[in-house]
Amino acid sequence: MKIALGSDHAGFELKEDLRAYLAELKIEALDLGTYSEDSADYPDVAAKVAEKVARGEVARGLLICGTGIGMSIVANRFAGVRAALCHDLYTARISREHNNANILALGGRLIGKGLAREILKVWMETEFQGGRHERRIRKIAALEGKTGK
C-alpha cells in the first residue's frame, strides 16, 4: 500500500519524522512537500496529496499542518476523499473502521512524535468494517458536489 504525504512549514518536522517511520514500517511513501521550514501555504500541499488519493494513484494520504484543520478542510473538497483529523488512537481507529478514511490529518503543533507514530500505525493497520458503515459512505459520496443552492 502506497501513501502520499505532505505538510506545510508547521507540520514539516513531524512529516520528516513520520516519513522515516513509514520507511521503518516498510510502507512505500511519496513525499509531496514541503521540503523545508520555509513558509508554505497548506492548501497547495493538501491539494497535491488529495489529488493523488482522489485519482487512485495512491491508496492513502497523510497531511500535517499546525492543527490539521486546514489540511482536512482542503482535502475533503476532493471527491472520493475522506480526510480525518485525529488526535488520539480512538479517533484513528474509528476513522478507519467506520468512516473508511483515506487521508489522515494531524496537527504538528498539537501532538508529539511518539503519539503521532502510534496514531499512524493504528490508522494504517485498521480495516474498514463495512456493513452499515458502507451505506453511510455511499451517502457521503452522493452529497459530493452539492452547492446548497
Does 25 help bind ligand RB5 (rule: CB under 6 A)? Answer: no
Among 69, 79, 140, 141, binds ligand RB5 (CB under 6 A): 69
Min dist CB 78 to ligand RB5, Å, is 17
Spell out, one character per residue from 46 to 65, where the chain touches ligand RB5: x when CB under 6 A holds, - when not: -------------------x
Number of chain positions touching ligand RB5 (CB under 6 A): 8
Judged by phi (left if over 0) then psi (alpha if -120 to 50, else beta), residue 56 lies in left
Active site residue 98: yes
Q: How far is the C-alpha of 133 from the C-alpha of 32, rounded, in Å?
A: 31
Among 70, 95, 103, 111, binds ligand RB5 (CB under 6 A): 70
Min dist CB 76 to ligand RB5, Å, is 13
- Going along 17-125, which residue ranges are E strands? 28-31, 60-65, 83-85, 103-107
Task: Return the number of the residue (8 or 17) whose C-beta is nearest ligand RB5.
Answer: 8
Does 66 help bind ligand RB5 (rule: CB under 6 A)? Answer: yes
Active site residue 65: yes
Q: How far is the C-alpha of 98 from the C-alpha of 73, rounded, in Å?
A: 19
Give the contacts of 92 (CB within 8 A, at least 6 positions apart). Answer: 84, 86, 104, 119, 120, 122, 123, 126
Task: Return the number of the residue (41 or 97) whose C-beta is nearest ligand RB5.
Answer: 41
Q: How far is the C-alpha of 102 from the C-alpha of 119, rounded, in Å?
A: 14
Q: Give the SS3 label for residue 80.
A: coil
User: Which sequence positions are flagged as catalytic?
Assistant: 65, 98
**Interaction site with ligand RB5 (CB under 6 A):** 8, 10, 42, 65-67, 69-70
